[in-house]
Amino acid sequence: MAIYESDHTKFMREWMDKHPEEREEQKKGRALWWDKPQDAETQREYAAGKVPAKAYPYATES
């Protein structure tokens, strides 16, 4: 059974194969937005301040 791969994915694979220098740029971009160090204390504060979601978020009554 063949695994589906979109045209965009094929294009990006071929393009990255032809432009290996872009791997470093890709890593820089990822580090800028996603790969951030995590602080356990901040995560605990976020968890403590979390408000439970309503069963039906569009309800107008509390």
- Render pLDDT for 2-56 as a digit per residue (tens, 0 to 9): 789 999 999 999 999 999 999 999 999 888 888 788 899 999 999 999 998 888 8
Q: How confident is the model at residue 62 (pLDDT cuts 50, 70, 90)?
A: low
In a domain, 21, yes or no: yes
User: Do the domain assignments include residue 59?
Assistant: no
- Per-residue model confidence (pLDDT) at position 53: 84
58 in a domain, yes or no?
no
Q: Is residue 45 assigned to a domain? A: yes
Give the CA-trace dihedral at 21, 25, 26, 28, to 10 degrees: 140
Domain hosting residue 22, numbered range: 7-49
Considering the domain boundaries, does residue 62 fall inside one? no
* 24 located within any domain: yes
pTM for the full predicted model? 0.47
Tell me whether residue 1 is in a domain.
Answer: no
Q: 38: burial class by Cβ within 10 Å (0-12, 13-18, 19+)?
A: exposed
Residue 43 maps to a domain: yes
How many structural domains does the chain have?
Answer: 1
Query: What pLDDT is recorded for position 57?
Result: 82
Compare 40 and 62 and report the one with higher pLDDT: 40
